[in-house]
Amino acid sequence: MVDAATSDRLVASGPDTQGPSDQDGGENSENMAIPLDDLEADPLVTSAAANNGAQTHESELIEPGRALALADFQPPRLGAGEKLIRLAYRLGVPGSTLAAPLKKPGKPRLLATVESPLAGERAAGVALRAGHFLIHGVKAPIAQMDWSSKALLTPPFELAVHGFTWARDLAACGPREQCTGTAERVLSSWLDANPKPAKGAAWTVRAAGHRLLNWLVHAPLLLGGQDKHLRNRTLAAAAQTARWLDRNVSKADDRLAEVAGWTAITAAGLLLPDGKPRRLFGEAGLMRALGELVGEDGGVLSRSPLDQMEAITLLTELSACYKATRRDAPDAIDAMLNLLVPPLLAVVHSDGALGSWQGCNAVPGERISALIEASGVRTRPLRDVRQWGYQRVNAGKGLLQFDAAPPPLARHTRSGCASTLGLEFSHDGQRIIVNCGGAGVAGGQTPVRIERGLRASAAHSTLTLDDANSTAVLIRGKLGSGVGEVEVDRRTQMLDSSTGKGGSATRIEASHDGYAARYALMHRRIVILRDEGTELRGEDLLVPSGRKPKRGKVGYAIRFHIGPGIELGLSEDKRGAGLALPDGSYWQMRISGDDKGKLAIEESLWVDGEGRPQPIQQLVLQGMVSRGGANFTWLLKKMG
């Protein structure tokens, strides 16, 4: 690897230095980064004159997310008799009594075989057949696994072991007859350790919901062997789990876990005998829970792409259960899938993988594509962003993602991050500016002990004051006080053609109040991406929030976490940096502002699509700034 500190190619051009792009003479001079003097003379705060020719929009004030109106997602219309059945079942009358009051309850059995459109991870399935779980890069031998509900497992292992999410992976790795033996081994071990409902990880609503749904959907794999006793035990356990969920689904830790519970209840109502009362009960509860899970623009209120994927997965599996029983799914399920997919696509980068937002890692593009295909939804990324909050700008080969909404409320989040006004930028499949990400998959190769650090403001490409988070990061994935509202304005802006360049750009201006209570300062960030996608301008402003600015100074840091495989080198004046990308392209960053702070290169990490932390570097501009306010201008531009 080239030494970034000494490489001539990696030295950024300053006002008095010569960069690599002017070696060919004056004809390439237009590729030079804008000198520092020009940056100072061309502030990004839009004046009235600068707005001439711009497509303007009124500023929008974004507050913590609101759920969908329940009227939009009502359960199917029922006759008087079905309403009475649903009410009686909710009050505790057994389903067999309501479905067939004169008949003896039948033994548990499956009424149909489900063909799931979702494909699992083949590598994880092969690992299972070889004798161990493979979860986010960590191997755990099946023979040494503690299956009991009280076992101390990390969150990813808890969901896999007690939620049976591994069944989809095993089904994807080979013919069913070759995988049944492994499935029976794991299933039998789990049933031996958990003969009846108890307290602990196995009997949370989320784990029980995923487990029951996976038992029903992957029954041919789990019950397709020759062990009739195991088949009967599993069917009895499925009926027992369904009854437990009937009584406990409302005690879920969060709305997404509740949706998992209601999905499993509805699937059991479709696939187990005497299930009509349970199905009617489940459909009503599911529609209500979905209305409280999803924001007005279709994004889950946790604002996590991982949670968005889980919601799509649950509804896709449930749709397959309806299809297996030759029954039409309620229109609300298809409507919800059509709402859920566009926000997920909005946080997909130019490499096809997800951005690192609210605990998400860079989930590979092939997994996203497979999930969208299985959902049956054909649509484009979300355009009208409100509560979801992630502004997306697609310009040429460049793609910008910008967090312009408050963090989720504590009751909605599992891995809440203080990421307000953070950004990510990719170009032609290469991530250039990133966030660390990965808090939501901590417990595999990413250690749980660094989970809170990955959720901090400093783990995102944004500004921090006094090493403090813009929103308090608490334990167990929750968030405290901080950002209460974000004001955002987005417009298309025509550029000055007098320079010979002209063209247009997308301009986003947003501000948050996360530091107002502590430091009496508002953070405002302006980003402008040219339509060819090779020039990203930005300005970070600290604006006094009160009528009379406070005295004294406070420390600040503006961080740009740089994507994997990029080599960095600082300019001699420490006011710029060069970025050499793996594809051979070369970019420059220059900074300006009221302060004399210097750029520095520091270590960082980035959690990849497999949940593995990768060492990267970050550019950090830091120093002390007056509480009377300040501004810092920066420019990232492709040089060749």
**In contact, 393 and 426? CB cutoff 8 Å:** no
At 601 the three-state DSSP class reads strand
Whole-number Å distance between alpha carbons of 219 and 245: 19
Terminal Cα distance for the chain, rounded: 20
Longest pairwise C-alpha distance within the chain: 94
Which H or E element spans position 183?
Answer: helix 176-193
CA angle 30, 36, 42 (to 5 degrees): 80
Distance of CA 504 to the CA centre of its chain: 30
Among all chains, which residue has been given the structure tokens 């649509």? 379
Task: Note the pLDDT tens digit of each residue in 430-483.
Answer: 999 999 999 999 999 999 999 999 999 999 999 999 999 999 999 999 999 999
Cα separations (Å) of 290 from 387, 429, 549? 16, 34, 45
**pLDDT for the residue numbered 546:** 76
**pLDDT for the residue numbered 51:** 43
Q: How many CA atoms lie within 13 A of 465 on its CB side?
A: 28
Among all chains, which residue has been given the structure tokens 């057949």? 129
DSSP 320: H
Burial of 364 (0-12, 13-18, 19+ CB in 10 A): middle
Which H or E element spans position 537?
Answer: strand 535-544
Q: What is the phi/psi pair of residue 213, to 5°?
A: -60, -40
Instruction: Using 70 as the pLDDT threshold, list the residues of the chain that sit under it.
Output: 1-58, 65, 68-75, 102, 496-502, 593-596
* β-sheet bridge partners, residue 553: 626
